[in-house]
Structure formats: structure tokens, C-alpha cells
Amino acid sequence: MTPPISILLVDDQQLIRLGFRMVLDAEEDLIVVGEAADGHAAIAQAAALRPDIVLMDIRMPGLDGIAATEAIVREHPDTRVLVLTTFDLDEYAFGAIRAGASGFLLKDAQRHEMIAAVRAVHRGDAVLAPRVTRMLLQHVAPTLGASETVPSSTATPSTTATPSSTASRDEALSELTDRERDVFLEIARGLTNLEIAQTLYVSESTVKTHVGRILAKLDARDRIHLVILAHRLGLTDDDAPPSD
């Protein structure tokens, strides 16, 4: 039997942690293994418990969720962070994405949305709607240059390198088949797997297979990092090179 997805709850409000615990522990495939009320405790608990997922509040006293996210992602690359925010326009949440989080969830999300988000992040998907993906790019675009290259799975999205943009683009794309490249470009445009399937006239399961292969070939942590990588390589421009 597959072990349940282990979750660490990080929020400075005890009632919020209690509510989340009740929702998550009610699912057979999810288990809350610990709680923390600030960033310092979150880092310590992540090291001690090695959870699969950290539900991370952003605005906390002491060490905030952005710094805690960066430390946890750096020290425990197999642990994925899903940040919690009150507003979908919260720039703190985008800061956490840049620090290596795999998505963000509104605190007023419905029960089924929270459960689906945890499961999605665990399997390597990103919890970002297409609209939010575009917002993310608007926030990170000023800090990204076309000269940046492929991030490793242990690097944060802001890691940079110095090869030319053409060399970086060619090197990255040479790893992909034509169909994988098509899927990669659609991910960069913020499309979901279902939308990609409809656009490319393939099944959704086929798209999922391609996404997994793209993640592996480009050594990307998750779908969000693929979006950022595509933007770094200049593949989101209108003049991006078409596949053969």
C-alpha cells in the first residue's frame, strides 16, 4: 500500500492549523505529521520530519515564510512547499515562488481545492491557474534575463548563469522531442494539461507523460519552474522558434 502524503502545517494562527489538520487528516492518503508557528520552527520541523509537503504561511512573526521556504527547498529538495496567502495578488506569495515554492493556495480555498492542491504538488504539478501563471511572469520577468540557463532541481528559480541565450535555448531544446517541445511551450503560456491536450489534439494522459519527461530532461523541480525556465530562454516571445 502506498504510504500517505505527509504534511507539515506552518501558520502562526493555531485555529487555522487546527482547521487544516481536520480537513487533511480526514483523507486516507494524507497525514499531518507536524505543525509550526513560525519560519524557524518550520525549518527545524522539516529537518526532523522530512514531510512530503509543507503548507507554508507567508506573513509570520520572526522568520517569514519566504525565508523558510528558501531554506527548506535548499536543504530538502524532495520536500515541496505550497504557500498559503490571503490574497492572490500577494507579492509575498510570488516571493515564495521565486524562493522555490511549488505554488500557492488561498486560505479561503474550498476543502476539495486544498486537498487537490496538496495531491497535485506531491505528484509534481504546480498549483497555479493560467491567470495566476501570467501574473507570476509579470512579477518575475523584470528579474529574469534571456541569458539565464536551465536551473537544477536544487536551485531556486532566481539562480543565474552566463552562457549566451542562443546556446542556452539550443541546449535546453535539444533535450526534447518535437512533441515535448510543443507541450513545453504550451506550459509556458499557462495552459493546463487538459487545455494542452485540446490544443495539440492528444489525450490528457499523453500530456501528463510528456510533462513528466520534460521535467526529467530539463532537471526542473516542477511545472512552475518550467514556466520560469521557458521565460528565461525567451520561448514565451511571439517569435519563439516553432517546432519542426
- Specify the pLDDT at position 87: 62
Mean pLDDT of the chain, nearest integer: 78
Q: What percent of the chain has pLDDT over 90?
A: 35
Identify the residue whose cell numbers are 531554506. 71
Please state the rounded mean pLDDT for residues 152-169.
Answer: 44
Q: DSSP H helical segments within 30-164, as ranges?
A: 39-49, 65-75, 91-98, 111-122, 130-140
Q: What percent of the chain has pLDDT over 70?
A: 74
Please state the rounded mean pLDDT for residues 216-222.
Answer: 81
Other CB atoms within a 10 A radius of the CB of residue 44 amount to: 12
Of the candidate CATH numbers 3.40.50.300, 3.30.1050.10, 1.10.10.10, 3.60.20.30, the domain formed by 167-233 belongs to 1.10.10.10
Please state the rounded mean pLDDT for residues 82-107.
Answer: 75
81 in Cβ contact with 96 (< 8 Å) = yes
- Specify the pLDDT at position 148: 41
Please state the rounded mean pLDDT for residues 23-49.
Answer: 96
With a cut of 70, say whether residue 51 has pLDDT above it: yes
pTM of the predicted model, to two decimals? 0.66
- Where are the domains positioned within the chain? 5-136, 167-233
The dotted CATH code for 5-136 is 3.40.50.2300
With a cut of 70, say whether residue 242 has pLDDT above it: no
With a cut of 80, say whether residue 79 has pLDDT above it: yes
Other CB atoms within a 10 A radius of the CB of residue 145 amount to: 12
Strand locations in 102-155 (E): 104-106
